[in-house]
Structure 1
């Protein structure tokens, strides 16, 4: 049985290789996937791929000169957003985007530390929640952050050697709460984004600042070692960025003092896109974008799969094939193996080349770190998308082969497959949001979801469920083809 199948596979490979249209279809698949992937990368631009600052928060501060340690207990924090921030900061001034180092508590991500001169970010205790202690220490040019659950036992979160802070910096506490952003369909092909402002609230206690001698200062009337004056409230305002959206979308912050406790409210966010939870304009799947050419490559794959079977019916060589190999199921299985392997190999080359060529172009157009991380073919999610997309093309080829067996007419089979895989999805997308989502979930084109690497709202179905939908259609079509092949005269 195995030997007979191998002979049939060799015969089908020799037969398929001898047809000039086979090589042309495989070459066209590679060319189309790469070309469209590169053109898509060339046409895409992002305003947030670089070190754009999005500082907009409420800052309670004093000047501090030289070495200083700032300590406070965050006794409570409102859960206004997973990335709401309450913590300590050393900042060169009160201007948006000026160098700073911050140590913060967040409702959804525990303790984080970040520096503004680059993309440094350090992660502390992930499950930390108020009440919790934080400490920032500047020694020379280095700033170190530490955390404590009880104010006695401290653990280092991170250390930044080159902060860019001047000799006299502003030291104190801050509160920020980013807007709740969402996107939704406003109609076929129309996506609308909106942002709902949130206002964070936190209570700080035991706020102190100490110099090298250990002298401390706290409260509204005391001076800070190396500096002087009462605590000041400043709303750091970020000017509108390239997209026209400021970080702050709520009203001004507030400060209320009761004994040694400070209650602070504020909105906005702190840092660079991609760091500390800032993700404006990050709802893009750059990996899937490099593989967008597969939707055009389908034309060549469908033609190859259909012609692999219908060409023999058209030339009547199918009778000779069945005379040499009477076991019709074995013949169809051999054809399926040869077609699937050839398309998968060509698709793998095309997808890998498209990804490798398009990625540098995307980075040059703003889709770079930190908000858009660098990807490699060795990344598991990228490898799944690239190899899975090649497998998607192979399944489409098998589906086309099966339809060719069932219909036995080249034009009819090609028109049917184009309608199902290209025309209906396109019409559904421009006609109705609901229809577009339904087609993306319930028809064979759902298999294209395998190239997704980001959970975007517009995704109709997940990568593996979508691939399973296509695999089910292919299995049913092949089953019907095997059944009909064995019962027909030729």
Structure 2
């Protein structure tokens, strides 16, 4: 930064901080952001409304006495939903919510190992099928392992087999939960529903016995298991299909009770199994996660009201000088008008960004305990701090959003040169048009949220929601484009007209 520009920045900073309205606007930005964020947190409540544990699926199994191993290759899995599950299992019996250890693949959430549906381990390098899976019980401990080729194995984790009897059931399972869907039924009206799904997986080289790969009843040997309903008995090898479901599980969209009986078909050296239902508990295995709210964005919702103070500050930073004619003195001291505008932009953006950073950080810290008290807590909503990357991005990005709005307001102020006209224009663009569009047409609301400067507010988002008009960074890029174009026009106009 050149010496002359530094002097211009210093002069603009002196002018800006000497005006009482500057401090008022920055304090209003902080106060409004924190107050609205706190009120939003106080008014928000949530509850799960489903069973504490879901344990229902199609299970192809046979007894396993003592220590031993169950191994299979999940050769293929249909993408019936991101949380569909297929894998190997050791279970105390065939009743729902009985002790079990499972290792599974999912279409959208990698490889996971569950203990009684309440504890979950993840394998960070895993993806979707095909994968080899293995569970090995030894001395009251169960080890899960995965392999891409059936030769080189990597351990997912080792857990205690608490509750598994000396002789348990070993085999493969398929589950596919209902998928929650939501859509706009009209302006401001959201309709939710549950889409029924049935999972399908192809298992090859299924073995269960005293050691991996040593079993006289290899399901890949042909004709091992057949049937189309609960209790279908294998033609040989003792494999049996059971639809596992806890008897007290209520029907309904949150229950994930199996909607259709499981089926199993042997052919071509493989077992093809279909099934519905789910496996897990609140916050484990995806249970309850499809209806999550964006608590971080909610804590920062006050910036939508703080925009009023930011717009006023950005406009007054230049129109007040046009109104009092002191802009002539400014241009006399610093004839290079582009440098004057650049200095104003630097000072304004830095001041608003600093105030916005304080406002967003305080709002998050104040709102978080209130949200937890109202039900937004673990395990569905993990406790987060300002050091969390998602929180940090939202807080810093929202402060940047406010700074960009201030710069946009500065550019409009230069072009219009009238405080009232500039403020009305900006309020119309950033507040009135989005509000009118959202209450008159769903499509219009989405396009306005996508293509107008208000898209920058999407930087607060930390999880995808169906009603989002755009993504966080793409929305901020739209606002940055409008701001750059407006400031560019302001530079061009200011250099070619009289003060």
Question: What are the Cα deviations for residues 82-111 of structure 1, in whole angstroms up to 9, with x where unaligned?
Answer: 543222222345454444210124455664
The DSSP-based 3-state class of the residue aligned with 1:252 is coil
Change (3 A) 1:354 1:96: farther
**Aligned-pair distance for 1:310?**
2.1
Question: What are the Cα deviations for residues 369-402 of structure 1, in whole angstroms up to 9, with x where unaligned?
Answer: 4444444433444333221211111111111122
Change (3 A) 1:155 1:364: farther
Change (3 A) 1:128 1:318: closer
The alignment's C-alpha RMSD in Å is 3.6
In the alignment, what sits opposite 2:165?
167
* Counterpart mapping for 1:132-281 below 5 A: 133-148=132-147, 153=151, 155-167=153-165, 169-204=168-203, 207-210=206-209, 218=217, 231=240, 233-237=242-246, 245-248=254-257, 250-255=259-264, 263-278=272-287, 280-281=289-290
**Aligned-pair distance for 1:133?**
4.2
**Aligned-pair distance for 1:12?**
1.7
**Aligned-pair distance for 1:125?**
6.3
In the alignment, what sits opposite 1:436?
445
The worse-fitting range, judged by mean Cα deviation, of 392-401 and 72-81 is: 72-81
Question: In structure 2, how many angstroms separate the alpha carbons of the residues matched to 1:149 and 1:329?
Answer: 62
In the alignment, what sits opposite 1:456?
465
- Report if the CA contact (8 A) 1:84-1:200 is conserved: yes
The DSSP-based 3-state class of the residue aligned with 1:101 is strand
In the alignment, what sits opposite 1:385?
394
The worse-fitting range, judged by mean Cα deviation, of 389-398 and 193-202 is: 193-202
Question: In structure 2, how many angstroms separate the alpha carbons of the residues matched to 1:184 and 1:2?
Answer: 54
Instruction: Give TM-score scaled by structure 1 length.
Output: 0.85
Question: What are the Cα deviations for residues 179-218 of structure 1, in whole angstroms up to 9, with x where unaligned?
Answer: 3443222211222233322222345566554359x99674
In the alignment, what sits opposite 1:224?
none
* Counterpart mapping for 1:286-365 below 5 A: 286-365=295-374
- Report if the CA contact (8 A) 1:447-1:469 is conserved: yes
The worse-fitting range, judged by mean Cα deviation, of 53-62 and 201-210 is: 201-210
In the alignment, what sits opposite 1:113?
113
Question: In structure 2, how many angstroms separate the alpha carbons of the residues matched to 1:163 and 1:45?
Answer: 37
The DSSP-based 3-state class of the residue aligned with 2:261 is coil
- Report if the CA contact (8 A) 1:119-1:370 is conserved: no
Question: In structure 2, how many angstroms separate the alpha carbons of the residues matched to 1:18 and 1:381?
Answer: 37
Unaligned segments of structure 2, at least 5 residues: 218-223, 226-237
Question: In structure 1, how many angstroms separate the alpha carbons of the residues matched to 2:45 and 2:472?
Answer: 25
**Aligned-pair distance for 1:52?**
3.9
**Aligned-pair distance for 1:170?**
4.1
Change (3 A) 1:250 1:20: same
In the alignment, what sits opposite 1:226?
none
Question: What are the Cα deviations for residues 411-443 of structure 1, in whole angstroms up to 9, with x where unaligned?
Answer: 222122111111111111111111111111221
* Counterpart mapping for 1:15-30 below 5 A: 15-30=15-30
**Aligned-pair distance for 1:166?**
4.2
Matched, 1:404 2:421: no
**Aligned-pair distance for 1:410?**
2.0
- Report if the CA contact (8 A) 2:245-2:258 is conserved: no
In the alignment, what sits opposite 2:221?
none
**Aligned-pair distance for 1:304?**
1.0
- Report if the CA contact (8 A) 2:85-2:104 is conserved: yes
- Report if the CA contact (8 A) 1:124-1:147 is conserved: no
Instruction: Give TM-score scaled by structure 2 length.
Output: 0.84
Question: In structure 1, how many angstroms separate the alpha carbons of the residues matched to 2:12 and 2:289?
Answer: 53
- Report if the CA contact (8 A) 1:142-1:161 is conserved: yes
**Aligned-pair distance for 1:324?**
3.4
**Aligned-pair distance for 1:240?**
6.2
Question: In structure 2, how many angstroms separate the alpha carbons of the residues matched to 1:345 and 1:326?
Answer: 29
Which of 461, 483, 488 lines up with 1:474 in the alignment? 483
What is the total number of aligned residue pairs between the two structures?
482
The DSSP-based 3-state class of the residue aligned with 1:248 is coil
In the alignment, what sits opposite 1:225?
none
Question: What are the Cα deviations for residues 292-325 of structure 1, in whole angstroms up to 9, with x where unaligned?
Answer: 1111110110111112222223333333333433
Change (3 A) 1:117 1:433: closer
Question: In structure 2, how many angstroms separate the alpha carbons of the residues matched to 1:128 and 1:474?
Answer: 43
Question: What are the Cα deviations for residues 430-480 of structure 1, in whole angstroms up to 9, with x where unaligned?
Answer: 111111111112211111122222233222122222222212222222233
- Report if the CA contact (8 A) 1:117-1:164 is conserved: no
Change (3 A) 1:51 1:198: closer
The worse-fitting range, judged by mean Cα deviation, of 336-345 and 110-119 is: 110-119
Question: In structure 1, how many angstroms separate the alpha carbons of the residues matched to 2:176 and 2:310?
Answer: 50
The worse-fitting range, judged by mean Cα deviation, of 382-391 and 352-361 is: 352-361
Change (3 A) 1:264 1:442: closer
Question: In structure 1, how many angstroms separate the alpha carbons of the residues matched to 2:326 and 2:124?
Answer: 70
The DSSP-based 3-state class of the residue aligned with 1:281 is helix
In the alignment, what sits opposite 1:223?
none
Change (3 A) 1:73 1:364: same
- Report if the CA contact (8 A) 2:241-2:263 is conserved: no
- Report if the CA contact (8 A) 1:49-1:368 is conserved: no
**Aligned-pair distance for 1:279?**
5.6
Question: In structure 1, how many angstroms separate the alpha carbons of the residues matched to 2:239 and 2:488?
Answer: 81
